[in-house]
Structure 1
Amino acid sequence: MLRLLSDENFNGDIVRGLFLRQPDLDLVRVQDVGLRKVDDQAILDWAANNERILLTHDRATMPDFAYERLARGEQMAGLFVVNDRMPVRQVIDELLLLIDCSEQPEWKGVVLYLPL
């Protein structure tokens, strides 16, 4: 099962829906780990150090920071950039597909845009 971290502004309906469909999901929110109001680089650093794939809607800056991190040779557990215009049900279905059908190491250093 994938280990996930949701960004501060990630849609809470998606998070709740994921837990409803998969109660044993390994997902924490930045708010739960003391990262509220910290910058994107700090969130990416925490996610890398804790081997968690970051879920975000931030298409404007987060991917750039992720690519800069990789260019410096720093680790990244993965980044899933979810289009905030996707229907909640579709996001949940696609994330559960990724969670159930892939392994954590497959996403190391990868920036993935959803929808698939």
Structure 2
Amino acid sequence: MTKIRFQADADLKQAIVASTIRRETNIDFQSAYVAGLEGKTDQEVLAIAARDEGLLVTHDRKTMSIEFGKFITTQTSTGVIIISQNLSISDAIESLILIWEASEAEEWINQIMSIPF
């Protein structure tokens, strides 16, 4: 089993990334900037996350679930977590740490989940 690596989408609040890493220093959480995701289409973002084996974390509720459905018809996804923009940063961090502690990367293949659940 492989530990989860998170990949932030370009729309994800940077405070969630930075604070999650600060709270749990062993978490591998790559920023959108490091991955070069700015200006990429959802399909490109999903492909980069899959290539880099990162569970994509996004706020994009409008288009990401549709694009995810299209993506997994032809490719394998490392999974997507959609965090509500209305969720507090502290609750988002707690949710991500819980997911990281309680599951493995293989459990997320071609899975999508919204937080709050």
CA RMSD in angstroms, aligned pairs only:
1.0
User: Residue 77 of structure 2: SS of its match in structure 1?
Assistant: coil
Q: Report SS of the residue matched to 1:93.
A: helix
State the shift of 1:51 in Å: 1.3
- Length-normalised TM-score, structure 2: 0.93
Deviation, structure 1 residue 6: 0.2
Deviation at 1:34, TM superposition (A): 2.0
- How many equivalent pairs are there? 115
SS in 1 for 2:82: strand
What is aligned with 1:87? 88
- Corresponding residue of 1:103: 104
CA distance in 1, matches of 2:40, 2:95: 28
1:8 counterpart letter in structure 2? A
Query: Counterpart of 1:59?
Result: 61
Answer yes or no: is the 8 Å Cα contact 2:9–2:37 preserved in 1: no
Structure 1 distance, partners of 2:88, 2:47, is: 29
- Distance between the aligned counterparts of 1:34 and 1:83, measured in 2? 23
CA distance in 1, matches of 2:91, 2:36: 29
What residue ranges of structure 2 are gaps of 5+ in the alignment?
A: none
Deviation >6 Å, runs of 4+: none
Mark the runs of 5 or more structure 1 residues left unpaired by the alignment: none
Q: What is residue 114 of structure 1 aligned with on the other side?
A: 115
